[in-house]
Amino acid sequence: MTTQPLLLAISTSSPALSIALVAGDVVLARRHEVIGRGHAEALVPAIANLLTGHALPHAVLVDIGPGSYTGIRIGIAAARALGLAWQVPVHGISGLSLVAAQAFAAERQLDAVLAVIDAGRGQAAGAAVLRGGVAAPAAVLAVAPAGIAAAGAGVQLLTDAPPSVHDCHPDAGFAGLVPEEIWGQPTALYLGD
């Protein structure tokens, strides 16, 4: 049994509806499904189902972007409402840090990864993320920089894309691997911020 605090992680910034109950690097319950649209209708019932049989979380982590404008707003609004109802803190984490955490879990020797999301309209957005969680500011990308591994659903949109560590949307199941030092406010992070 883990002594880590229970965290509810929510990611709705991409076509995936991704939620997880984590304690450190242990995933107690998870739902990750590419639904495209409909996050607003699906999110709260999915969270209720996910929490069945589990204690209420000690905090909520929410993907603040970059990504879908509407998806980001839905996730943040739900996270804030749950935090208020449960009287627990709500923290923001970048979807790029979730993409990077999954890559670091898959490839233990990586020190850095280019985390890339599908930003919509045929564009990719990403940032270089160090294993400790420190990331460069997110930017629209057209070409993959040389010399760095890449991961995420947006890699396929890059010219001369390197082989991808994974091609997944941000996955809340990896939130427990995002260093607490880089958690921030649950405030939307849009490209250009």
The mean pLDDT value for 90-111 works out to: 96
63's enclosing H/E stretch is strand 59-63
Burial 62-88 (b: 16+ CB within 10 A, else e): bbbbbbbeebbbbbbebbeebbeeeeb
Q: Give yes or no for a contact between 52 and 21, defined as CB atoms under 8 angstroms apart.
A: no
Single pTM value for the model: 0.94
Structure-model confidence comparison of residues 1 and 29, the more confident one: 29
Structure tokens at 65: 């972007």
Q: What share of the chain is helix, strand, coil (3-state, %, to 5)?
A: 30, 30, 40
pLDDT for 192 equals 58
Task: Work out the pLDDT band at 48, boundaries 50, 70, 90.
Answer: very high
- pLDDT of the residue at 163: 84
For domain 7-94+171-182, is the CATH number 3.30.420.40? yes
Provide the pLDDT for residue 159: 85
DSSP state of 153: T
**Cβ proximity of 10 and 22 under 8 Å:** no
pLDDT of 82 over the 60 cut:
yes
Average pLDDT score over the chain:
93
pLDDT digits (tens, 9 = 90+) for 122-169: 889 999 999 888 777 888 999 888 889 999 999 999 988 778 999 999
Tens of pLDDT, residue by residue over 102-115, are 999 999 999 999 99
Q: If we measure between CA atoms, which residue out of 178, 10, 2 comes closest to residue 88?
A: 10
Q: How is residue 64 annotated by DSSP?
A: -
Q: How many CB atoms lie within 10 A of CB 36?
A: 9
pLDDT band at 2 (very low <50, low <70, confident <90, very high): low
* pLDDT band for position 119 (cuts 50, 70, 90): confident
Question: What are the extents of the domains in the chain?
Answer: 7-94+171-182, 97-157
The token pair that represents 174 in the structure block = 């990896």
Q: Is the pLDDT of residue 45 over 70?
A: yes
Sign of CA dihedral 168, 169, 172, 176: positive
CA 43 to CA 88: how far, in whole Å?
A: 19
User: Beta-carbon neighbour count of residue 144 at 10 Å?
Assistant: 21
pLDDT at 29: 97
